[in-house]
Amino acid sequence: MAGYTEIDAEKIEKAAQMMKAVAHPVRLSILGYLSDGEDLTVTQIHELARIEQSTASHNLGILKDKGILMSRRIGKNTLYFLKNKNFKELIGCIHKCACID
């Protein structure tokens, strides 16, 4: 495994942008729901998170733009899912550090 000092500046910047995207209560909540492994629609996410559908869509767009989520269309629905299974581990670590006493 490469040491931190061996990672190029572009990759460090990409990682920082991803972390900034995750570091938001609504987006962290969305990632929590998606880390269960089930692909979800905007409607399902806004109902689970108890937020407006437009808020869900906006935040899903940010997560997708930063390379954290991907989506696919099935009929009229767009399903969102984690782009990389390692994000599931990251969300689990955040949960363990912040949510478990």
User: Which residue would you say has higher pLDDT here, 60 or 4?
Assistant: 60
CATH number at residue 16: 1.10.10.10
Q: pLDDT tens, 69-80? A: 999 999 999 999
Residue ranges making up the domain that contains 35: 4-99
Total domain count for the chain?
1
Residue 92 has pLDDT above 80, yes or no: no
- Reported pTM: 0.83
Report the pLDDT value the prediction gives residue 89, as an integer from 0 to 100: 82
Q: Which long-range contacts (CB under 8 A, 24 or more apart) does 59-63 make?
A: 59/24, 59/26, 59/27, 59/30, 60/30, 62/21, 62/27, 63/21, 63/27, 63/30, 63/31
Q: pLDDT tens, 14-52? A: 888 988 999 999 999 999 999 988 999 999 999 999 999
